[in-house]
């Protein structure tokens, strides 16, 4: 029985190797994607190359939607920055980031805006469970 199995493995050695490589690469890629989704590191796009005088020092920038139209009309290539404002509903005790699906479901007349998470928490709101 063992000799039949070893002969079968030797016969299909290349196919077994190829399948195991595909499975391992798929598992590694899936887990790397999950790790990146958990870390939630903001992505900043800059126009300069590293080492050309830019000193971010790992600090996140704050996005202002007020200047968004000005940048679009002037065509400047400044850093794109993430919006850290949060929105809550008058009818709820939860707050949402602007990119969360829950924020998009709040009617405009019911929206309450806060500059950041700390301001919303100070006002008695808690972060929505679907918004990380």
Q: Domain spans of the chain? A: 2-37, 80-127
Burial class (CB in 10 A: 0-12, 13-18, 19+), 131: middle
For residues 42 and 84, the model is more confident at 84
Q: Are 67 and 94 in contact (CB under 8 A)?
A: no
For residues 57 and 30, the model is more confident at 30
Of 113, 80, 16, 60, nearest in space to 103 by CA: 113
pLDDT of residue 102: 85
Decide if pLDDT at 91 tops 60.
yes
Burial class (CB in 10 A: 0-12, 13-18, 19+), 121: middle
Of 1-10, 34-43, 55-64, the poorest mean pLDDT is in 55-64
């Amino acid at each position: 029985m063992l000799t039949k199995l070893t002969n079968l493995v030797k016969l299909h050695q290349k196919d077994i190797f190829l399948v195991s490589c595909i499975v391992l690469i798929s598992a590694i890629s899936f887990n790397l994607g999950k790790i990146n989704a958990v870390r939630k590191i903001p992505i900043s796009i800059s126009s300069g190359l590293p080492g050309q005088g830019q000193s971010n020092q790992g600090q996140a920038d704050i996005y202002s939607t007020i200047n968004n139209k000005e940048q679009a009309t002037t065509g400047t290539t400044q850093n794109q920055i993430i919006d850290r404002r949060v929105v809550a509903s008058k009818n709820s005790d939860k707050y949402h980031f602007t990119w969360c699906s829950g924020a998009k479901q709040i009617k405009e007349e019911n929206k309450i805006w806060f500059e950041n998470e700390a301001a919303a928490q100070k006002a008695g709101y808690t972060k929505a469970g679907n918004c990380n």
